[in-house]
Amino acid sequence: MTRTKEALIDSGTRLAPAEIARGDGPIVAASAPLKITAVRAYFQRVEERPRVLVSVETDAGITGWGEAYNHGPDLAYGPILDYLFPLLEGEDPRRVTFLHSKMLHIGRFPPGALGFAAIAAIDHALWDIAGKASGQPVYNLIGGNVRDRVRVYATAIYHPHPDEAVPLLLGLNEKYGFTAFKLSPYRIDPYSARWGTVCKAVSEYFAELRQRLPDHFEIAFDAHAVIQEQAHAVQLAQALEPYEPMFFEEPLRPEHMPAWGRLKAKLNVPLATGEALYNRFEFLALLQEGGADIVQPDIAVVGGLTEMRRIAEVADAHFVPVAPHNPMGPLATAHNLHFSAACPNFKILEYRVTEDCPWIKDPYLPVDGHLELRPDRPGWGVEIDTSVLKVDDYVHWEREAYVKPDGSTAYS
């Protein structure tokens, strides 16, 4: 395992990912030896946001790929991967569940945000290797697809005036077939204005969108977990209610599960949350409180596909659908596509439209508002351009803390 950030940028020789993606790479018999030889991090970007890619290499020349969640201190992933590598070295990467458990069990305490994200990236690289070694797409390794394509909604659309939002949404519909979208609800600063004024502006905004957009369009609203009073969350939901939002996302912070149960009992719109929860135990606590109509685990946050499937089964036992949180890059979208294809209680997948991402040659792009499966491609079904990764293209990004009029801070 290499030790420095500079050394993590690999320029060595390996089997070309293009050969693997086309199915020309080695197909390894289940009994044949296959060992992990290296774990590497690549610091890249998607437009203005940093992205950390992780590769797991094997002695058979098969490389698997994963994407770590962008929590903020992204350069910390190198040392974390360096710490995890001795647990993986020499192991058969196809023992995905075993290695996932090994990484979790080594810690005296549960991992935090960065630990789970690093484990997720490794977990996904292991699944990619398993698919490539067997010549199968990942979704076939977890029971096969239960649907022929995966519906997506366009996300990360912040604060546009109706005169901007309407042509933007119509353009996304024309180009990609989107009929579902997610916006920020706030029209004015939620910390500076009277709350009733904030809610009135939201109601008027949604009313105008409904009037000017096709009736079959679905619109969700993400409150970004910045509301600190349950009564205010109820008022905002009531402002949205007449216009039938697809869902109302994360009005509160996630830490206190009973608050979510009390909130949902007062709402007449679908309540969605889960992007800041880390594992099946936290989702079980949320669902036992009756705290969500839709859960939104992030596959790059919860420790990867291995844990994501367990969360989905917990949700299914509570008659709750899964709409994965996915504001990340195109490799994370590939991970989510395979999960969604094989998940019986899947609802819809978040999709970030990306115009500039040179390190992936063939991202999944929506057609008619859906992502098509690639049954003829093993692993995740995408090709990473390793020539691009030889140049560190990391960009620093961090959230800006909100400051209230009285000088105190608020959640961003």
Assess if residue 317 is contained within a domain. Answer: yes
pLDDT category of residue 28 using cuts at 50, 70 and 90: low
Span 135-161, average pLDDT: 93
Count the neighbouring beta carbons within 10 Å of the beta carbon of residue 89.
Answer: 13
Residue 404 domain-assigned (yes or no): no
List the domain range (segments joined by +) for residue 367.
140-379
> Which range is least confidently modeled, 27-31, 40-44, 407-411?
27-31
Q: Give CA–CA dist 173/180, Å, rounded.
A: 9
Rounded mean pLDDT, 142-155: 97
Query: What's this model's pTM, rounded to 2 decimal places?
Result: 0.92
**Residue 161 included in any domain:** yes
Lowest-confidence range among 16-25, 178-187, 322-331, 350-359? 16-25
Residue 170 within a domain: yes
Q: Residue 236 pLDDT more than 90?
A: yes
Tell me the residue ranges of DSSP E strands in 322-369. 349-351
CATH number for the domain harbouring residue 299: 3.20.20.120
Domain-embedded: residue 168: yes
Tell me the C-alpha distance between 246 and 248, whole Å. Answer: 7
Q: 102 burial class (0-12, 13-18, 19+ CB within 10 angstroms)? A: middle
| Residue 77 belongs to some domain of the structure | no
Tokens of 360: 């992936």
Total number of domains constituting the chain? 1
Residue 216 is assigned to a structural domain of this protein: yes
Structure tokens at 214: 């096709």
Positions marked catalytic: 224, 325
Residue 270 maps to a domain:
yes
In the predicted model, is pLDDT for residue 374 greater than 90? yes
pLDDT at residue 7, rounded to an integer: 37
Lowest mean pLDDT of 115-129, 183-197, 299-313, name the range: 183-197
Distance CA 322, CA 340 (A): 9
What is the C-alpha separation between 116 and 82, in angstroms, rounded? 15
**341-353 pLDDT per residue, tens:** 999 999 999 999 9
